[in-house]
């Protein structure tokens, strides 16, 4: 026990952090160092500043006027032993945002003293989902995913003998409730491993969950068989984007830092592409070369740390003109994200012609776009879990096609 010594009285809190599971109730104890009544005192529980507070007790009752909104209806002062100087803060249905320090502040009108209480919230997530994704660096990529963890968990791969294996990549994101979703990948090139295990551990409680996946005995032979089947009909196969890349030419993109405006006066000798009227500002990115009029091409875009983006392609008439009527013919095929909503759009300056909501389960951190000019096809893949997102299959190109990106409140990080 420790606290703040002073003349008159001091306050003590627990020496160790209080640990509680997500969704449970937490009780944070606090008391005067000597046994004396605190019923006449103001007792204030707060986080980073005295007001607004988590809870304020004065004149024998709780005062709601200064309480933080996120704690209303979830807190209570346990005052059974207030006559002996002992109280406790009860927080119901603990959230991830409740994690951290709480200050217990006593004021008798002349002296005020306080002590700190540490609350550690423990979120034990779902059992890892482990699956084979496809080829990667002469081996098979294995992906492990799980959600609902707090705080940020630790991920470890291991083989049958318990030897640790290094991850190829690891992404951790937080949802709106502050809980962590983790995705880690591993490339297995040694078929003798038999199986690999993905373990995810909570760093506070030490609790972990693990799942294993069995690997084919003849890994190389199995990989070749899968690839042979894929190559026979790769256009219809909506899997293995890394294999799909072998059929396309990689494209390098650069960022155009000029602002995009929607004023007709802005369309001069070199008009910039602007999406539908509803679109706001952002970064316009395009190729540092002429548009595509044939062939197969692909490019990748890193889209971490942003809630809003639009990416895809736009098509200009073959013969450029300053006429507004020609500019209105510019057509866009794009994916759009706003908050947690995704949709596919076909539109022009005149309006939206096609709009389709997309049920994307795993938030993309990187997207690869495949353009097949002759087949009039634009396909999008989520490179976080290597799944197909959407395809525009009847684009009917007749002009020059350019990549299009608008990324809000972030720096663009091209990958190609």
User: What is the rounded CA–CA span in Å between residue 59 and residue 55?
Assistant: 14
- Which string of DSSP letters, residue by residue, matches 292-339? BSSSEEEEEEE-TT-SEEEEEEEEE-SS--S-HHHHTT-EEEEEEEET
- Which string of DSSP letters, residue by residue, matches 252-279? --EEE-SPP---GGG-SSSPPP---TT-
Q: Which residue has the tokens 């062939």?
A: 295
pLDDT by position in tens, the chain (length 416): 444 444 578 999 999 999 999 999 999 999 999 999 999 999 999 999 999 999 999 999 999 999 999 999 999 999 999 999 999 999 999 999 999 999 999 999 889 999 999 999 999 999 999 988 766 767 788 899 999 999 999 999 999 888 999 998 898 989 889 999 999 999 888 766 778 999 999 999 999 999 998 876 655 566 666 656 555 555 555 556 766 777 788 887 655 444 333 333 332 233 344 444 444 444 444 444 568 999 989 998 888 767 789 999 999 876 655 544 455 668 899 999 988 889 999 987 777 777 888 988 778 888 999 998 988 889 998 887 778 899 998 888 888 999 988 877 444 334 43
Residue (of 66, 3, 59) closest to 29 by Cα position: 3
Q: Look at residue 413 in the predicted model and tell me its pLDDT.
A: 39
Residue (of 367, 141, 98) closest to 253 by Cα position: 367
User: What is the rounded CA–CA span in Å between residue 371 and residue 301?
Assistant: 14
Rounded to two decimals, the pTM is 0.59
| CA 386 vs CA 129, 187, 260, 338: distances in Å | 15, 14, 32, 21
Residue (of 405, 367, 406, 361) closest to 175 by Cα position: 361
Q: Look at residue 354 in the predicted model and tell me its pLDDT.
A: 79
Q: Which residue has the tokens 């294999």?
A: 243
Bridge-based pairing state of the strands 112-122 and 18-21 = parallel
Task: State both tokens at 263.
Answer: 């004023």
Torsion of CA 397, 398, 402, 408, to 10 degrees: -60
Coil, strand or helix at 70: helix
Task: State both tokens at 366.
Answer: 């990187």
**Exposed e or buried b for every residue in 322-353, given b needs 16+ CB within 10 A?**
eeeeebebbbbbbbbbeeeebbbbbbbbeeee
Strand partners, 334: 312, 345
Residue (of 5, 33, 34, 29) closest to 17 by Cα position: 29
Domains of the chain (ranges; CATH) run 2-122 (2.60.40.10), 129-223 (2.60.40.10), 231-415 (2.60.120.920)
Is there a contact between 76 and 64 (Cβ–Cβ < 8 Å)? no
Bridge-based pairing state of the strands 296-302 and 249-250 = parallel
């Amino acid at each position: 026990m420790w606290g703040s010594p002073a003349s008159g009285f001091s306050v003590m809190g627990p020496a160790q952090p209080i640990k509680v599971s997500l969704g449970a109730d937490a009780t944070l104890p606090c008391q005067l160092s000597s046994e004396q009544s605190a019923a006449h005192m103001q007792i204030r529980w707060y986080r980073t500043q005295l007001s607004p507070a988590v809870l304020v007790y004065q004149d024998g009752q709780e005062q709601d006027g200064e309480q933080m909104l996120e704690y209303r209806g979830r807190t209570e002062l346990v005052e059974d032993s207030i006559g002996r100087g002992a109280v406790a803060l009860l927080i119901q249905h603990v959230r991830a945002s409740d994690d951290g320090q709480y200050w217990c502040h006593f004021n008798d009108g002349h002296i005020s003293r306080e002590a700190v209480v540490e609350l550690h919230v423990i979120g034990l997530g779902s059992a890892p989902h482990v699956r084979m994704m496809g080829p990667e660096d002469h081996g098979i990529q294995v992906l492990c995913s799980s959600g609902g963890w707090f705080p940020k968990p630790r991920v470890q791969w291991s083989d049958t003998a318990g030897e640790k294996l290094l991850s190829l990549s690891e992404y951790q994101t937080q949802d709106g409730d502050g809980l962590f979703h983790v995705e880690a990948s591993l490339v297995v090139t040694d078929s003798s491993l038999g199986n690999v295990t993905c373990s995810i551990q909570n760093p506070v409680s030490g609790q972990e969950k693990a799942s294993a996946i069995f690997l084919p005995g003849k890994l190389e032979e199995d990989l070749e068989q899968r690839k042979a089947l894929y190559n026979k009909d790769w256009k219809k196969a909506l899997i293995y984007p890394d294999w799909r890349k072998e059929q396309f030419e990689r494209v390098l993109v650069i960022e155009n830092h000029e602002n995009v405006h929607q004023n007709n006066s802005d369309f001069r000798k070199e008009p910039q592409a602007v999406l539908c009227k509803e679109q706001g500002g952002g970064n316009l990115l395009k190729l540092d070369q002429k548009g595509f009029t044939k062939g197969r091409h692909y490019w990748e875009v890193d889209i971490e740390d942003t809630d809003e983006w639009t990416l895809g392609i736009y098509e200009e008439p073959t013969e450029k003109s300053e006429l507004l009527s020609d500019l209105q013919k510019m057509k866009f095929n794009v994916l759009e994200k706003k908050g947690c909503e995704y949709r596919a759009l076909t539109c022009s300056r005149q309006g939206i012609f096609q709009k389709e909501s997309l049920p994307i389960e795993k938030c993309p951190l990187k997207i690869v776009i495949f353009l097949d000019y002759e087949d009039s096809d634009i396909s999008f893949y989520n490179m976080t879990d290597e799944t197909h997102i959407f395809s525009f299959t009847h684009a009917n190109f007749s002009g020059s096609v350019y990549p299009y990106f608008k990324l809000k409140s972030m720096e663009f990080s091209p990958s190609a």
